[in-house]
Amino acid sequence: MEKKNLFTHIHEMETQLGQLHSDLGELKMIVKELLEDNQRLTIENEQLRKLLKREAPADLPVPSALAPAARPAGPATGEDVVGEGYDNLARLYHEGFHICNVYYGHLRTEGDCLFCLSFLNK
């Protein structure tokens, strides 16, 4: 009778060990997701700080985007007129964000995006 009890006890321990292994795998995935989010937010924070430092001195004079009288008006200048929306999208792209319909608004972490570049070249 003791041998049967011993085998039952070993089986229960094996079941508990399997459960612990699966719990550890789940925790590992959660930690991985948290680390990825932390890295993404760190990069985004750095880019926002750079942008803030770059634009902080520009607070005193009126930016050209806010002063339409400072811009030459109409196609009389001889250049192709590009809308303000295009300028804003190009600025967002150069600040490190996607402007394509696939990943719009997400942070670009791996260099240039072919979708975004093709959108800008239209």
Q: Does 9 belong to an annotated binding site?
A: no
Q: Does 113 belong to an annotated binding site?
A: yes
Q: Does 11 belong to an annotated binding site?
A: no
Task: Indicate whether 29 pLDDT > 70.
Answer: yes
What pLDDT sits at residue 63?
42
68-120: per-residue pLDDT in tens? 444 444 444 444 556 788 888 888 888 888 888 888 888 888 878 888 888 88
Whole-structure pTM value: 0.42
76-89: per-residue pLDDT in tens? 444 455 678 888 88
* Distance (Å, whole) CA 64 – CA 110: 31
Burial class (CB in 10 A: 0-12, 13-18, 19+), 99: buried
Task: Indicate whether 67 pLDDT > 70.
Answer: no
Q: Does 98 belong to an annotated binding site?
A: yes
Alpha helix segments (H runs only) across the chain: 2-55, 84-94, 114-120
Q: How far is C-alpha 101 from the geometric centre of its chain's CA atoms?
A: 14
